[in-house]
Amino acid sequence: METTKIAIEYGAEDPLWQSLKAGDSAAFGRIFHENYRPLFNYGCRINKDQEEVKDCIQLLFLKIWESRERLGASDNIRNYLYSSLRRLIIKRMRSDSNLFVEIDQASVAFHADLSIESTFIQDETSKQDILSLQTALEKLPARQKEALFLKYYGGHSFPDISQIMGISTRAVYKLIYKGLDSLQAELKPKVRQIPHLLSLLF
């Protein structure tokens, strides 16, 4: 009976995840290679130290492989990886910080730098719009920036973002729509199509 409830709530487990849990090294390698770049991009938004982010990704996958037989079910591998990497980066930032400085989930900065892809946009108008958008983004609270990043980088759904950030779906809606409203107020009518530009920025 309990298995049926889990299947209804979370959906069927990803076959690739099942293979990993069964000890299939090829499945493990595929998961690593398919997710490394987006994980690195996301991790560097939380911690700008690229070497530390790389270490965290390596450590995350090492832990996954070592504990593969004890892993729970997952119908969305990327969500699991994003939320796990987020927790690991914040945990290590907390342990490396001054003992008198409190670092929690809500106080971690989130960086909205231009992506490599967006720097190669040829249209000068789009470039100026993106630069204006980046300036406006930096004025937003970190949690709003992170929610917008997850929404417009890879197209994560509201429930996905809820799982990754460890907050309610309702809180995700509030973060995203407050962020978009602030950007509209800051940029309109100078910059149009903000959601489209967000996808280019990230």
DSSP letter string over 4-53?
A: HHHHHHH-SPPHHHHHHHTT-HHHHHHHHHHHHHHHHHHHHHH---HHHH
Lowest pLDDT segment from 52-66, 75-89, 103-117: 103-117
Average pLDDT over all residues of the chain: 81
pLDDT digits (tens, 9 = 90+) for 22-51: 999 999 999 999 999 999 999 999 998 999
Side-chain half-sphere exposure of 153, counting CA atoms within 13 A? 25
Can you tell me the distance from the alpha carbon of 169 to that of 105, in angstroms, rounded to the nearest whole number? Answer: 16
Give, in order, the Cα–Cα distances in Å from 187 to each of 27, 50, 84: 45, 31, 35
Helices (H), 67-97: 77-96
Q: How confident is the model at residue 135 (pLDDT cuts 50, 70, 90)?
A: confident
Can you tell me the distance from the alpha carbon of 178 to that of 176, in angstroms, rounded to the nearest whole number? Answer: 6
Residue 75 pLDDT > 90:
no
Can you tell me the distance from the alpha carbon of 102 to that of 53, in angstroms, rounded to the nearest whole number? Answer: 20
The mean pLDDT value for 102-116 works out to: 56
The structural domains of the chain, ordered by start, are: 2-96 (1.10.1740.10), 117-201 (1.10.10.10)
Contacts 24+ apart (CB under 8 A), 5-9: 6/73
The mean pLDDT value for 94-121 works out to: 54
- For residue 113, the Cα-to-chain-centroid distance in whole angstroms is 14
- Cα-trace Rg, the chain: 18
Q: What's this model's pTM, rounded to 2 decimal places?
A: 0.78
Name the more confident of 96 and 165: 165
Name the more confident of 13 and 21: 21
Name the more confident of 89 and 123: 89
Q: How confident is the model at residue 133 (pLDDT cuts 50, 70, 90)?
A: confident
